[in-house]
Structure 1
Amino acid sequence: MAGMTQFAPAKVNLALHVTGKREDGFHLLDSLVVFAGGGDWLTFAPADTLSLQVRGPRARGVPEDGRNLVWKAAQWLAPGRGAAITLDKHLPHAGGIGGGSADAACALRGLAQMWGVDVPRGAEALGADVPVCLHGRPVRMRGIGEVLEDVPPLPPVWIVLVNAGQEVPTGPVFKALERTDNPPLPAPAWDGFDGFMAWLQETRNDLQTAAKTVSPIIDDVLARLSQTHGCRLARMSGSGGTCFGLFEAEADAVAAATAMPADWWAEAAPVLGAMP
């Protein structure tokens, strides 16, 4: 079988409410998760042993051994099987857009196809975001990431993802949270772009204020996004530090991404209705 290439799209929390905390320390979330038309790419080729090569503009510092979630995903799926995997890395590290989880989910899909096996239940063992990345389409995510519920179809939306280059570790952000018992999302219901924006205005990212205490530059990113023409909502994704702006027109999104500082990572992409 010849090698194949598959896409690992960025995961974006358009809304993220922290609704509780379990006795084991895990936080309960209620989030609207979507996927963007920008991300990493993985190529899989048959081989006797497992190997991983990382290249691309964000390859620096990414491990090529058992510390990488792609490697862990391969071993979890079928221990002892071989494959030559190449990860073309474009998403920033510790960016709150599920880069490692998206790569792991892509590895599970690609290797399952190449090896002729099914992906078993329990992918959350690789990380809380791996199941939603396997799902690969807009969804309401609750619990600690294991409860996935369908949402109404999204209207066409363009997203601009921006990261100023500061990694934001998740632990300190959750530790800086003032409240963990916030109200859940309103019931997902919208009609058209304006209706979707109106629904989102009634939601929040409960981690955003805490993340800004860890990485104050998030404030600058949000301010720049908010000031671009056509931006209807600017917010942080996940636990940071990637922020996003939502646009109705592709031209406005592309112009906004272009207007960001040259040393920031910025990408305009459509919000995906399903995995391409």
Structure 2
Amino acid sequence: MSRDTPLSLPWMLVDIGNRRCKAVLIDPRRWDADQTLAPQTVALESDHVFWHSLPTEPIHWWIGSVHRPTLRSLQARIERLRPRDRQTVLTAADFPMEIDVAAPDGVGIDRLAAALGASASLQPGESAVVVDVGTAVTVDLVREEKEGPVFAGGAIFCGPYLAARALHEGTDALPLIEPPNVAPPPLGRDTQAAMASGLYWGLVGAVRELAERMGPGDGAKCRIVVTGGAGESLAEQLPGDVHYDGALVLRGLGMAVNASARRRQ
């Protein structure tokens, strides 16, 4: 057996989404779920600066992916360029939480990671609505119970970029617009402004409604934790105890890796 253990090699946490990939290098000896993370957004096939910045010694790639072609491409690139490295693709079984849905293995790793990351700030009896604004928007509920966190399911709908593309491709006259990153006037005075308003405030309204309906409704504390590219502006529009964490998915991956690596020692 190799003298390298899952806790002796630096961790490269990788979050492969449908449009973007984020990565952060972690010293496992200093891992803390509350630490500040500064991930890079990388183009894994073409970002030569990223690949040349990697340490010369072996590292362990821990990968959470919702995009299979990009995952396969990354795995082949690691094998070709860094044959001494280890790599592990995380699955639902690696997450130290109960997954209380009909088909746990069918839940996106990004949803599980975001929920686990959000659970780090919860006490037993508390809940969080976890919102990830990406190609798709996911709104999920995680509960902290005495035995640990519970992923309870949630909702999925089109993210702003996908919705903008659908409006353009599904109609004859509507243009393709860039979804706004800041709040536009609700009353659009031309077609593009009206589309921007609908994309932005429609997202806000959908998330508000889902968060209210998913919450415990019995006076128990339920915070909202938001992540994703367009999430920071969204978080400013939501009521109550709202927190934005741009590295939430990677934080959850790190928590899963920490638990998994210790089991594998």
TM tier relative to shorter chain: under 0.3
Structure that is richer in helix per residue? 2
Superposition TM-score, scaled by structure 1 size:
0.27
RCO comparison, higher one (Cα < 8 Å, 6+): 1
**Which structure has the larger Rg?**
2
Structure that is richer in strand per residue? 1
Superposition TM-score, scaled by structure 2 size:
0.27
